[in-house]
Structure 1
Amino acid sequence: MSESITLVPGALSLDTLRSIYRGRPALTLDPAAYPRMERSRALIDRIAGGDEAVYGVNTGFGKLAHTHIAASDLETLQRNLILSHATGVGAPLADGVVRLILVIKAVSLAVGASGVRPALVDALLKLYQADVLPVVPGKGSVGASGDLAPLAHLCGVLLGIGHVRVKGETLPAEEGLRIAGLPVFDLKAKEGLALINGTQVSTGLALAGLFEIERTFKAALVAGSLSVEAVMGSHRPFDARISALRGQPGQIAVAAAFREVLAGSELNASHQGPDCHRVQDPYSLRCQPQVMGAVLDQMRQAARTLVIEANGVTDNPLVLVDTDEVLSGGNFHAEPVAMAADQLAIAASEIGALAERRIAMLIDTTISGLPPFLVAEPGLNSGFMIAHVTAAALASENKTLAHPASVDSLPTSANQEDHVSMATFAARRLGDIAGNVADIVGIELLAAIQGLEFHRPLKTTDRLEQAIATIRAEVPRYEVDRYFAPDLAAIGALVRNGALDHLMPVSLETAQ
């Protein structure tokens, strides 16, 4: 926690969100946020002490919005809300995702449009700082009216309800509060609703998916470059003039990255001249700027949407302190997140689909010119034959996982909530897709290096030789058939851990 970041409501950056997911930088809330939070809380206290019925303050919820709640029952109402809405099931969300949710929720409330006491915002951030992470089941939200069930599990911990994870150990919530130096809270009017209403779970999951896909994207560009070298492919498709004539920004950026990474290759120089037979390579090689550029554009667009959402106020009703109003609306509807997650699912699946095609090309001696299945004695050895089958299986699985979730809707709450986004599932499945793609790209990395090494002593570029050295430090060359699964596990972990990130000069940061 050497890094320290000041959280300014409405100004979270993609880089800050990535840092929270990947690590645990020290965070402090901008002091300027407190006066507005206090004003919004004072307005709710005034309304709670009056006779006017205001949704979310002194009424029931959803279909029960017309039921007036007596002032003496308002605290019980908020506690009951948390208890009844904590209905999540399934495996708990990963620690990095929970950190994102805690921070995004706290910053949203700190805008001062939700009517909660500043002490609750401080408590959420204190759980983060103490690394006391609520156990949040991953299933049970339809992405409107907010991520109710998972957020009830997250924020129920402040009431001593549920469990937390501390250094890998699961403990009762009250023990977690003690470790974090926090009391057990009693919720005031509207606070329970503000805590569980909102899109923070789907947004946190989508951001986590984005960050995992970002790593597979960079590794896939490295793998694609190595495959070009392994089959002594042409560098001409990466010429800047080709992409400039089309004008797509992602394609321009990806072609530039390929030119930078492939510049100065001995292998490429060895087959230049009138005798070079590489007139047009397969699409999986020469159309990489077009396909991966489209992927990059989709990732950047999704990143823009998710950064906006992470900075937004998405609970209901909203407290407008400048006009002393409480407005009921629908910011909890996570359709922007659902559509962004669908974009990412399709884009990530295409990363894997293109990589699988390059693996197929590498093992096919009639196209690659390399030994069949990339092994010195094919027949006696099967080499990469079935590793490609694994890649094909994963690529096919992603076709189903990438089906848009945002086009689905099931009415809930006795048809009061009659159209929902399914954003939470849309975002959650990104982890499975990204994992599949990491394994596909890992197989391509091994196959491409295997093929390239048949051209030794010729070398590729300095940057790609770095990639080869990094990979060979984990996985030795495949000389004869051996137990292959550990190799695939090692290379998959290397991709997931971002060991090749620094080799590719392409960034999402222009998305901000």
Structure 2
Amino acid sequence: MTSTRIVIDGTALTCLEVTRVARDDVQVVMSDTGIARALESWKVARELTGTQPVYGRTTGVGANRLVDVEWDDADVHGLRLLRSHAAGAGPLLRPEVARAMLTVRLNQLAAGGAGVDPGVLPALADVINLGLTPPIPIYGAIGTGDLTALASTALCLLGERSWIGGDQGPGFPLRSADALAFISSNAATLGEAALAVTDLRRLLRASIVIAALSLVAAYGSAEPYAPVVHEACPHPGQQQVAASMRLLLAYEGSSPGRIQDPYGYRAFPQVHGPAVDSAAYAEGVITREINAAAENPLIDVVDRAVWHNGNFHTAYVGLALDAARASLFQTAALSASRLGTLVEPSFTGLHPFLAATEASSGIMILEYVAQSAIADVRRYASPAALGNAVLSRGVEEHAGFSPQSARATTDAITAYRIALGCELVAAMRALRMQGRAPTGGPLKGAYDLAASVLDPRVEDRPLDGDIAVAADLLDLEDFSAGVAPGEAGVPGLW
């Protein structure tokens, strides 16, 4: 049984757990070790601040880093920082992204290194468990810290702004000296990235099932998935996809309709494999970041030192997501290719467009819908990292735009889900019209699940409802449960 409680300790949070906290009825619980780690960091920060300059605590920030904070100004310096930086713009972050941000920041603080008052941790946990979120506009970060988002969160903790979901949430008297330490984080970007990569990996699994259904409907050949083929060119993702296809097709006959299929089937492992590898790499990067004490300045408890550094820069995250979107477009294009075969009588033995009669339109419009969605996947595939910015009087002269990369990944996934939904509607319709179904194993389970919710009628009618039902089906774990973690010698990437 899936636990309804997730323990936050600063070291072991996963992207899937972030997603569960953000979307499901899951409670977070602080571990004693996480709070103890934060406490030690806070003590050392206070000790060091009294003996040496510490960025943001005894100095200004950005171009004002060389300006010392006067002793009689110290109690309000941090509060001014929060108020001046809570200045985002545009529509608000979706509640699930805001909850993901709170979860990530809570875990980062439990990793130690920030030097923030440990009392903030249970306060943030209470906010999450009460279902409250701060009002955070989407525009304001460029990959060097989600300062506007976290400054707004800090003002909610202080009681100067209202939480969404309840005016009076659990407040906390955040100390002025801890202000910069609290907001110096990419938690909003990482929260959205964790949601996106979780969704992406689920859809990549589901698309293998859909490709297998399409192959059966098009009388395709399983020969391209033979082990010897992929041992000859052993990319991990390619091997994983081929192994999954072999598992899904294990119960099907071996009478292909042609000697070589189109690329949508024949080159599927070679094109879908890079998307699998890219998503796995991105998840690894994001997981490291959400469990890192990536603070600037970093409070070093062991050596009782403070280190000013560049761990606030999320180039790894942005570049990993950029690569994932590029590979996603490639495999989305193959989905459209397979959809094209399903409207052709030479592949299915049915009327054109899987229509009820030769003069009917059938699923003709699905190709338009799929190509419209894939056009957006292509548009979002443009690398966010190609941008740059010079800010704060030239002191901060580089940006990776990882927030924009995370947001583009979310949008690309939404479009990809629609394209896959179109292919699933077509594959299921073809198999039903042929009077055929997978004969066993996990592919039959996926077919039966889809058949239980998709309308079986073939006369011309609006198909928008069918697409929506199919797209929702892809998010169910049961649909892609048959995609195996791999065979002997094949790395498991799921």
- Equivalence for 2:197: 210
The aligned amino acid for 2:284 is R
Q: How has the CA–CA distance of structure 1 residues 155 and 344 changed in structure 2, closer, same or farther, with 3 Å as cutoff?
A: farther
Is the aligned partner of 1:108 residue 2:108? yes
SS at match of 2:232: helix
- Equivalence for 1:89: 89
Contact 2:120 2:172 in 1 (8 A): no
The aligned amino acid for 2:151 is A
For 1:321 and 1:45, the matched residues in 2 are separated by 12
For 1:136 and 1:458, the matched residues in 2 are separated by 49
Aligned residues: percent identity? 27
- Equivalence for 2:278: 298
- Equivalence for 1:227: 214
RMSD over aligned CA atoms reads 2.3
Q: How has the CA–CA distance of structure 1 residues 511 and 384 changed in structure 2, closer, same or farther, with 3 Å as cutoff?
A: closer
Is the aligned partner of 1:339 residue 2:319? yes
The aligned amino acid for 2:159 is G
For 2:379 and 2:209, the matched residues in 1 are separated by 26
Structure 1 residue 478: Cα displacement: 3.8
Residue deviations 1:256-275, cap 9 Å, x none? 1111111112xx35xx3xxx
For 1:184 and 1:277, the matched residues in 2 are separated by 68
For 1:34 and 1:438, the matched residues in 2 are separated by 40
Query: Where do 1:471-482 residues align within 5 Å?
Result: 471-482=450-461
Of 232, 247, 250, the residue aligned with 1:245 is 232
TM-score between both structures, scaled by the size of structure 2: 0.93
The aligned amino acid for 2:107 is V
Structure 1 residue 186: Cα displacement: 3.8
Contact 1:212 1:434 in 2 (8 A): yes
Structure 1 residue 286: Cα displacement: 1.5
For 2:468 and 2:439, the matched residues in 1 are separated by 26
Contact 1:229 1:460 in 2 (8 A): no
The aligned amino acid for 2:202 is R
Contact 2:18 2:191 in 1 (8 A): no
Structure 1 residue 466: Cα displacement: 2.6
Is the aligned partner of 1:39 residue 2:40? yes
The aligned amino acid for 1:230 is A
Structure 1 residue 211: Cα displacement: 1.2
Is the aligned partner of 1:16 residue 2:17? yes
For 1:486 and 1:5, the matched residues in 2 are separated by 36
Structure 1 residue 500: Cα displacement: 1.4
Q: How has the CA–CA distance of structure 1 residues 458 and 207 changed in structure 2, closer, same or farther, with 3 Å as cutoff?
A: closer
For 1:140 and 1:264, the matched residues in 2 are separated by 53
- Equivalence for 2:62: 62
- Equivalence for 1:119: 119
For 1:48 and 1:74, the matched residues in 2 are separated by 11
Structure 1 residue 27: Cα displacement: 2.5
Structure 1 residue 297: Cα displacement: 1.0
The aligned amino acid for 2:154 is C
Contact 1:93 1:136 in 2 (8 A): yes
Structure 1 residue 54: Cα displacement: 2.5
For 2:374 and 2:480, the matched residues in 1 are separated by 22
Structure 1 residue 291: Cα displacement: 1.4
The aligned amino acid for 2:186 is T
Contact 2:219 2:347 in 1 (8 A): no
Contact 2:237 2:273 in 1 (8 A): yes
Contact 1:198 1:331 in 2 (8 A): no
- Equivalence for 1:147: 146
SS at match of 2:91: strand
SS at match of 1:403: coil
Query: Where do 1:312-391 residues align within 5 Å?
Result: 312-379=292-359, 381-391=360-370
Of 422, 428, 452, the residue aligned with 1:443 is 422
Of 258, 272, 277, the residue aligned with 2:245 is 258
For 1:92 and 1:321, the matched residues in 2 are separated by 37
Query: Where do 1:398-409 residues align within 5 Å?
Result: 398-409=377-388
SS at match of 2:468: helix
Residue deviations 1:111-157, cap 9 Å, x none? 2211111101221122112222223222211011x111122223321
SS at match of 2:306: strand
Q: How has the CA–CA distance of structure 1 residues 283 and 212 changed in structure 2, closer, same or farther, with 3 Å as cutoff?
A: same
Structure 1 residue 373: Cα displacement: 0.6
For 2:493 and 2:265, the matched residues in 1 are separated by 27
Moved more, 255-264 or 24-33: 24-33
For 1:307 and 1:98, the matched residues in 2 are separated by 18
For 2:327 and 2:181, the matched residues in 1 are separated by 34
Counting matched residue pairs gives 490
Contact 1:49 1:71 in 2 (8 A): no
For 1:104 and 1:184, the matched residues in 2 are separated by 19
Query: Where do 1:69-84 residues align within 5 Å?
Result: 69-84=69-84
Structure 1 residue 28: Cα displacement: 2.2
For 2:164 and 2:493, the matched residues in 1 are separated by 33
Of 405, 420, 425, the residue aligned with 1:426 is 405
For 2:257 and 2:12, the matched residues in 1 are separated by 54
Residue deviations 1:339-388, cap 9 Å, x none? 11112212322332111111112112345443201112132x21111111
For 1:370 and 1:192, the matched residues in 2 are separated by 67
Is the aligned partner of 1:467 residue 2:455? no
Of 453, 456, 473, the residue aligned with 2:435 is 456
Residue deviations 1:39-73, cap 9 Å, x none? 322233234445x4322111111001111112332
Contact 1:137 1:153 in 2 (8 A): no
The aligned amino acid for 2:182 is L
SS at match of 1:319: strand
For 2:221 and 2:328, the matched residues in 1 are separated by 25
SS at match of 1:482: coil
For 1:263 and 1:142, the matched residues in 2 are separated by 48
For 1:339 and 1:24, the matched residues in 2 are separated by 32
SS at match of 2:171: coil
Gap regions ≥5 residues in structure 2: none
Residue deviations 1:284-343, cap 9 Å, x none? 011111111221111111111111111112221111122222111111111011111112
The aligned amino acid for 1:228 is L
Structure 1 residue 31: Cα displacement: 1.2
The aligned amino acid for 2:289 is E
Is the aligned partner of 1:133 residue 2:120? no
Residue deviations 1:238-266, cap 9 Å, x none? 1111111211111111111111111112x
Contact 1:362 1:370 in 2 (8 A): no
Query: Where do 1:479-498 residues align within 5 Å?
Result: 479-498=458-477
Contact 1:37 1:118 in 2 (8 A): yes
Contact 1:375 1:478 in 2 (8 A): no
Contact 2:79 2:176 in 1 (8 A): no
Residue deviations 1:147-202, cap 9 Å, x none? 11122223321112334233xxxx43xx1x1xxxx23424231x111111112111
Q: How has the CA–CA distance of structure 1 residues 157 and 378 changed in structure 2, closer, same or farther, with 3 Å as cutoff?
A: farther
Moved more, 364-373 or 292-301: 364-373
Contact 1:75 1:186 in 2 (8 A): no
Q: How has the CA–CA distance of structure 1 residues 473 and 511 changed in structure 2, closer, same or farther, with 3 Å as cutoff?
A: closer
